[in-house]
Structure formats: structure tokens, C-alpha cells
Chains A and B, each alone.
Chain A
Amino acid sequence: DQQVKQNSPSLSVQEGRISILNCDYTNSMFDYFLWYKKYPAEGPTFLISISSIKDKNEDGRFTVFLNKSAKHLSLHIVPSQPGDSAVYFCAASKGPFKNGQNFVFGPGTRLSVLP
């Protein structure tokens, strides 16, 4: 039973264009969401997060949008760069946060940015 889904296993985008990675979740109790980026042979690295009190969070080229009613979030990368080519994981969690947190991860989407 996948509580966090990333239905596109892969995505290819031209350099300079927008990349949109999607994530859906089923558990309405989730109220904190993160995106992680992972290069081959490395651990995931934190990219950006959003809590359920917001519907948008922006950090440089990366923006995460949250649609609570649709239980959907998306990561926008503008403009896309070849160095953005990686696997992107969406993760979700239930608050309140106390002594660490159990995040549920999606299966990842492999983004390829073509020069």
C-alpha cells in the first residue's frame, strides 16, 4: 500500500526549460512534505520542504506547490540545468515533530536534463 506515489518513473527535459515532478499521497494526516535529490552512489540530499499550512515554497530555482484537497504536490525546477539530472524523491510525514520523524518516501522520478 503506497502512501506516497510518484507515478512517473522518469522525465526528460531540455536544458533551460521547466521540469515538473509530481507526487501524490493518500494519507490525509500527512502535513509535512520534502523533496530529496539523489545522485548515483550517493545518499539522498535534502532539496526543499513545505508544511501543510502553506501552498507554495520557493528556494532559488526550486518551487514546491502543495494542493491539500487533491493530496498532490509538485516540484518545479526553472530553468533546468544538466546538473539537475538525478532521481528525485518525494517524502511525507505526520506532525507533530518530536524526537525525529517517520517519513514515508515515494519510489522516485529520474530526471534527465538534456543539453
Chain B
Amino acid sequence: DTAVSQTPKYLVTQMGNDKSIKCEQNLGHDTMYWYKQDSKKFLKIMFSYNNKELIINETVPNRFSPKSPDKAHLNLHINSLELGDSAVYFCASSQVRGRDKTDTQYFGPGTRLTVL
């Protein structure tokens, strides 16, 4: 069973288009995230949602809009795509647990976005 799934796996599109990436988790976690892995391979957090509410919103252009219809889904919509948006986007989920309140994030397989 896939724990965190993303669609599509690959996305090639023209500059200026609007596109969406979908993410679903079947782990029952309360928190979901979007990360961007840039050309230098750094994984940087973009957004975090807990129970459909936005918690973390890093410095990301407002062309990026996350949407969480329920706690098992966190979709990423990108308007007016630019060349610099080309990257791999990872969805993740987590659940704060335990006395130590440790938090392990489980990642999806990634969506490679190429903007031409």
C-alpha cells in the first residue's frame, strides 16, 4: 500500500500555464507538507497544513496556492508557471507522537516539474 502518493510523477508544461499537483496520504496523519527540491538538491519546505489549516507558509510566491480539501489530501496549484519553477516537488505527511513528541515525515515519490 502506498503511504504518500503524488500525481503526476512527471509534468512538462509551457511558461505561463497553470498546473496542479495532487497528494494523498493513507497514514491517518494530521499534518501534510510540500517541499521543493531545487537544482542544487536542497529540500526546502514550502507549506505545512495541519487538519486542513495552514501552519507553515515559507517565503513562496503567491502564484503557489496549496489546497487541503480534507486532512488526507494536500494539493498544490501553481499559476503562471515560470522557468524557475522547474524542480522536483515532494509531498510529505507526519503525526506528532510519543512522550518525546517526535515527528517523522513520510515522503511521496516526488513530481518532476519541467517548465519550458
Contacts and interface: CB of A to CB of B under 8 A. Distances in A.
Contacts of A91: 43
A43 B50 contact: no
A97 B99 CA distance: 11
Interface residues of B, number: 31
Interface residues of A, number: 28
Interface of B: 4, 30-31, 33, 40-45, 48-51, 55-56, 90, 92, 94, 96, 100-110
Interface of A: 32, 34, 36, 41-46, 49, 51, 87, 89, 91, 93, 95-103, 105-108
**10 closest A-B pairs (Cβ-Cβ)?**
A43-B107, A100-B31, A105-B43, A99-B50, A97-B101, A101-B103, A46-B104, A44-B107, A100-B48, A97-B96
